[in-house]
Amino acid sequence: MNRRRPHEEEDGYERLHRKRRRVSENQEIEDRLESLILRVGEKSSSSLESNLEGLASVLEADLSTFRVKILRILTECAIRMPEKCTIYATLVGLLNAKNYNFGGEFVDYIVKTFKENLKCGKWNAARYCLRFISDLVNCHVLAASSLLTLLETLVDCANDDSVPQVRRDWFVFAVLATLPWVGRELYEKKESQLDHLLVTIEVFLNKRSKKHWPALKVWSVDTPHLQEEYLDCLWAQIKKLRQDNWSEKHIPRPYLAFDSILCEALQHTLPAIQPPLHNDGDSYPMPRVIFRMFDYTDCPDGPVLPGVHSIERFLIEEHLHNIIEAYHLERKECAAQLLCFPYKAKIPLEYCIVEIIFAELFNLPRPRYLEICYGSILIELCKLQPATMPQVLAQATEILFMRIDSMNVACFDRLVNWFSYHLSNFQYRWSWEDWEGCAQLDPDHPKPRFIKEVLSKCQRLSYHQRIKDMVPETLAAFVPLKAEPIYKYSMEGAGKKNR
């Protein structure tokens, strides 16, 4: 006898349907939370402060159900969008003020992520983690003394003489690059401890080897711009920032609007963090020389270009490098994002962008991406900003041409490749008459050699008559010979050889 109820099978389907519906609803809520977190800080009709306050309330209401998801999204956003670091730090600060336990869980999660990135050799991600951890001090999530203990531990790793210098350099660079965000707070609360940290760093910098420096220079001379090793340059910028009482002008600090709320929150302390030991298979970021092409005298009336040792110059350049890293696979989007730089009203943006792109193109021993990547981005920039970008690029080309006598050979070749490619996209228009004086120089001089190489490349991208017509008569000697086919079987004596 069958004792099952007639509708029992239907109940099973109903339970499955309810389960699927519940999973679907949860997924929908997760997607909505992720979208809200990703988009915070973008242009909106409401102020950033009101958006942060509203988002903090929404997230706090969903913590019981989506705690792990929220922890993961906030951490990933802080790493993948480092330019919004202070926005997400403020959001974590507001959540910590509402829910102390969640603040502690977030600190544990970001520390775990920091350790994993160090272990896996994801050095940029680890540096952005450290920046975010530091910014949590500004939001009263972490105690300043706890952060300084971590920074001292990282600097101590730089004093290990048994590991490669590139590893030691990275730890010092990571600490120095973090100080613009949190230096003021550490100076006000732990001045003597901060001074001790800086003295330790200075001792390391004074004794480190810089054998790589001459090999990484774009030019063999240091005029008109000194070619500084990247750590030396950053150290000079940090010293200037210290003289200015740790005050800078390019980091947004939305947490200042919530100071009355954040200062009442209980603070957490970091667990002991010991970086993983060096393995012979580890790969570290390579040293580099800071490329300089413009100074304030090269820019016309308008915003002043920050000085080479101002911390603002470092912050601007790092932000632009990050944009290229994030969007280099899509040239149109990359150009649009560069021109949408959030502080463009304060700086001569076109000059900063051109200098950064050439810095990447001339990076030694090799650029980060294919050479054509930078050329295509510059073309898109000229199309998007036709009123200013072509003029700045022409000015940059003249500066590079004037200094070409002392340019590194590898950079010389890259400049030839870029310039010929760029001309081919703009109907080969150029003020060749300005370079007529090069016809009087020795043919092996770098300037005539550059013109000859460029015209040769242009001929490969076009045809002989086009190149011959665009060059003035005074530079006709630099035009390459017309390429003619050779038919070996029609040459004199070819028949006898074949017999």
Q: Dihedral sign, CA of 294, 295, 299, 302?
A: positive
Give the position of tokens 């965000």: 181
Lowest mean pLDDT among 10-24, 202-216, 353-367, 392-406: 10-24
Q: For 169-194, how does the pLDDT look when each residue is reduced to its tens digit (9 = 90+)? A: 999 999 999 999 999 999 999 999 99
Lookup: tokens for 366:
């090799």
Contact status, residue 341 vs residue 267, Cβ threshold 8 Å:
no
Residue 425, pLDDT score = 95
* 315 class by beta-carbon count within 10 Å (0-12 exposed, 13-18 middle, 19+ buried): buried
- Cα dihedral 318, 324, 327, 331, rounded to 10, equals 150
Reply yes or no on whether the pLDDT at 486 is more than 80. yes
Q: For 350-378, how does the pLDDT look when each residue is reduced to its tens digit (9 = 90+)? A: 999 999 999 999 999 999 999 999 999 99
Residue 497, pLDDT score = 52
> DSSP strand E in 359-483: where?
none
Q: For 321-331, how does the pLDDT look when each residue is reduced to its tens digit (9 = 90+)? A: 999 999 999 99
Lookup: tokens for 195:
């001074």
- For the chain, percent of residues with pLDDT exceeding 70: 94
**Angle between helical axes of 230-243 and 311-327 (0-180°, round to 10):** 130
**Confidence band (pLDDT; 50, 70, 90) for 1?**
very low
**Confidence band (pLDDT; 50, 70, 90) for 485?**
confident
Q: What global pTM score does this model have?
A: 0.90
DSSP string, 58-79: HHHHHHHHHHHHHHHHHHHHHH
Give the position of tokens 């969903």: 62
Contact status, residue 265 vs residue 93, Cβ threshold 8 Å:
yes
Residue 28, pLDDT score = 83
Contact status, residue 292 vs residue 351, Cβ threshold 8 Å:
no
Reply yes or no on whether the pLDDT at 90 is more than 90. yes
On average, the pLDDT of the chain sits at: 91
Give the position of tokens 């009336």: 301
Please give the Cα distance from 275 to 282 (Å, whole number). Answer: 13
Give the position of tokens 């029992």: 8
Torsional class of 299: left (φ above 0), alpha (ψ -120 to 50), beta (otherwise): beta
Other Cβ atoms within 10 Å of 70 Cβ, number: 24
**Confidence band (pLDDT; 50, 70, 90) for 42?**
confident
Q: What are phi and psi of 295, to 5 degrees?
A: -135, -175
Contact status, residue 284 vs residue 170, Cβ threshold 8 Å:
yes
Residue 492, pLDDT score = 74
